[in-house]
DNA sequence: GTCTATAGTGGGATAGAC
DNA sequence: GTCTATCCCACTATAGAC
């Protein structure tokens, strides 16, 4: 039997190796794109053998999962101070989306490939996969925080689903961002600035009696969508 | 100089070869999936060399374009009799979407890969690419016909953009369909049946004065989205 | 049982003859 | 426009180190 300290040391080493591979991959992807980067190069840059890289990541595409998680963590860290500072719902939402755009900017060039991978339903990366990676929970959690720490009290039947709806809205912005060829993705920033006030207004109006049927219908639809 | 008849004969031959490759690919994709089919097999089944297959299609993914166009044509043919028969706007829209689901059903198993390819912005297949394939124009055209031959007269400022908005709605249904694992994609059929009446109602209400600002805002947004 | 290294295999893609 | 021949690299099998 091996000692716990040894197990721990091995675990640490494994984590460092795994991180080194992801770091190397991200750097190379940024430098020469996804297609232009070979697994041999990634492994060499990380100081491991190709076989070893495949021990940690079963395919080249699975390396993108590393990017996904990395981005979600970085985004969460970037949002924390903003969300501690702002209380206005629309401004909170705007801050979260703006931070995402800032954090993701260096990867825009190969984000198309990333998105293509994520769009495949059978892929664990798919944002719609039932119990997908922690990245989805992280993202929905951020939007739950956006609502919880804000000045709005939406329709009670809506409040439960609002974080997920905001996450879907966020996904829509990402879809547009991926296709955005304007410098520094300025168009997506415009789009966010234009649509956030609409979302803000809709959420605030959701308590109005006249909008109840629409809200109920939308919430029902979301439930039907999610049931599997 | 070669005679015109010779040129024509060559063109015909090229078209036949190209079609043979697409046909072989579609059959093999259906039988053993996208990943499970090799270019060598496709070429062999089409009776040409692999090099020749690459003369017509620069990559395996580009073969999916053939599927895309094939589907759009088949869909247009399937819709024609329905659209000649029905005048109610909601029913026309429902017929178009139902026919799409019927025509696309045999390909559902490998549609995930197809969608992943289409989602890549740099890919000519991307439904958002400025002057993408005829498939997009075919699809928007069908929705223009849905509006033109129907009993609704929507808000004038909306009518110009409505076919494209309906096409976007159709894309949304396809996105859901791709991820739909229920038998015969019954869930997507439910979703269509649920949402078509909502779209129908919205379009009919678009003339109401109270909804004008919202319509204007939405149309303005669409214009901003499309400008490149 | 956890991790690493080496030596393949198969298939996507290309060059250049005809 | 079509072929043959070949390259290159994603991925695998497997042996062995710790």
pLDDT tens-digit map of B98-114: 999 999 998 888 777 66
Query: Hey, is the C-beta of B107 within 8 angstroms of any chain A C-beta?
Result: no
Torsion B127-B128-B133-B134 (CA) sign: positive
Protein CA at B8 to nucleotide C1' at D7, angstroms: 36
- Rounded to 5°, the CA angle B10-B11-B12 comes to 90
Percent of chain B with pLDDT over 70: 84
pLDDT at position A19 is 86
| Strand D lies under 7 A from the Cβ of residue A38 | yes
Q: Report which of residues B103 and A71 the model is more confident about.
A: B103
Q: Is the pLDDT of residue B146 over 80?
A: yes
- Whole-model pTM: value is 0.77
| Residue A48: how many other CB atoms lie within 10 Å | 18
In angstroms, the CA B61 to CA A116 distance is: 12
pLDDT tens-digit map of B208-227: 776 777 777 777 777 766 66
Q: How confident is the model at residue A117 (pLDDT cuts 50, 70, 90)?
A: low
pLDDT at position B2 is 46
Among A116-125, A206-215, B19-28, B197-206, the least confident range: A116-125
- Tokens 């689901």: give the residue: B101
- A208 DSSP 8-state letter: S
Domain B1-58 belongs to what architecture?
Orthogonal Bundle (1.10)
pLDDT at position B210 is 66
Q: How confident is the model at residue A166 (pLDDT cuts 50, 70, 90)?
A: very high
Q: How confident is the model at residue A149 (pLDDT cuts 50, 70, 90)?
A: very high
Among A140-154, B111-125, B207-221, the least confident range: B111-125
- The gap from C-alpha B49 to its chain's centroid, in whole angstroms, comes to 30
| Residue A172: how many other CB atoms lie within 10 Å | 12
Q: Is the pLDDT of residue B70 over 90?
A: no
Tokens standing for residue B69:
């166009």
pLDDT at position B108 is 87
Torsion B153-B156-B160-B166 (CA) sign: negative
pLDDT at position A210 is 66
**Largest alpha-carbon pair distance within chain A?**
69
Q: How confident is the model at residue B6 (pLDDT cuts 50, 70, 90)?
A: low
Q: Is the pLDDT of residue B28 over 50?
A: yes
At residue B121, the 3 state secondary structure works out as coil
Q: How confident is the model at residue B181 (pLDDT cuts 50, 70, 90)?
A: confident
Average pLDDT over residues B66-74: 83
What length does chain B have? 228
Percent of chain A with pLDDT over 70: 82
Chain B partners of A120 at a C-beta cutoff of 8 Å? 112-113, 115-116
pLDDT at position B77 is 96
- A125 DSSP 8-state letter: T
In angstroms, the CA A202 to CA A212 distance is: 12
Binary contact (B126, A179; C-beta < 8 A): yes
Q: Is the pLDDT of residue A106 over 90?
A: no
Chain A partners of B187 at a C-beta cutoff of 8 Å? 224
- As a whole number of Å, the end-to-end CA separation of chain A is 45
Q: Is the pLDDT of residue B130 over 80?
A: no
A143-to-A146, A169, B71 alpha-carbon distances in Å: 5, 10, 39
Q: Which nucleotides of C are covered by protein (CB under 7 A)?
A: 2-8, 10-16
Chain B partners of A181 at a C-beta cutoff of 8 Å? 121, 228
Chain A partners of B178 at a C-beta cutoff of 8 Å? 119, 121
Q: What mean pLDDT, rounded, does chain B reach?
A: 85
Tokens standing for residue A89:
């719902």
Torsion B42-B46-B47-B51 (CA) sign: negative
Protein CA at B39 to nucleotide C1' at C14, angstroms: 14
Average pLDDT over residues A27-41: 85
Average pLDDT over residues B180-189: 90
In angstroms, the CA A65 to CA B206 distance is: 43
Domains of chain B, by residue range, sit at 1-58, 61-227
Nearest protein residue to nucleotide C5, judged by CA and C1' positions: A49
Average pLDDT over residues A129-149: 81
Superfamily of domain A61-227: Tetracycline Repressor, domain 2 (1.10.357.10)
Query: Hey, is the C-beta of B58 within 8 angstroms of any chain A C-beta?
Result: no
Protein CA at B39 to nucleotide C1' at C16, angstroms: 21
pLDDT at position B42 is 96
| Strand D lies under 7 A from the Cβ of residue A60 | yes
- B25 DSSP 8-state letter: H
Q: Is the pLDDT of residue A120 over 90?
A: no
CB B148 within 8 Å of CB B93: no
Q: Which residues touch strand C (CB under 7 A)?
A: A 10-11, 13-14, 17, 48-52, 55-56; B 37-40, 50-51, 54, 58-61
Q: Is the pLDDT of residue B133 over 70?
A: no
């Amino acid at each position: 039997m091996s000692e716990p300290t040894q197990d721990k040391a091995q675990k640490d080493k494994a984590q460092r190796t795994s991180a080194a591979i992801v770091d190397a991959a991200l750097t190379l992807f940024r430098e020469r794109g996804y297609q232009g980067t070979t697994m041999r190069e990634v492994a060499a840059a990380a100081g491991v053998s190709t076989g070893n890289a495949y021990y940690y990541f079963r395919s080249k595409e699975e390396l993108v999962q590393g990017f996904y998680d990395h981005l979600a963590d970085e985004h969460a860290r970037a949002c924390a101070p903003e969300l501690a500072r702002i209380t206005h719902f629309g401004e909170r939402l705007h801050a979260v989306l703006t931070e995402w755009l800032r954090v993701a900017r260096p990867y825009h060039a190969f984000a198309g490939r990333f998105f293509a991978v994520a769009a495949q339903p059978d892929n664990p990366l798919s944002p719609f996969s039932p119990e997908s990676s922690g990245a989805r929970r992280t993202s929905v959690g951020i939007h739950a925080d956006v609502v919880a720490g804000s000045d709005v009290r939406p329709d009670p039947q809506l409040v439960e689903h609002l974080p997920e709806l905001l996450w879907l809205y966020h996904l829509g912005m990402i879809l547009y961002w991926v296709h955005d060829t304007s410098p520094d993705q300025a168009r997506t920033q415009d789009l966010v600035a234009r649509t956030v006030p609409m979302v803000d207004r809709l959420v605030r109006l959701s308590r109005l009696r006249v909008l109840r049927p629409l809200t109920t219908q939308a919430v029902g639809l979301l439930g039907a969508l999610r049931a599997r």
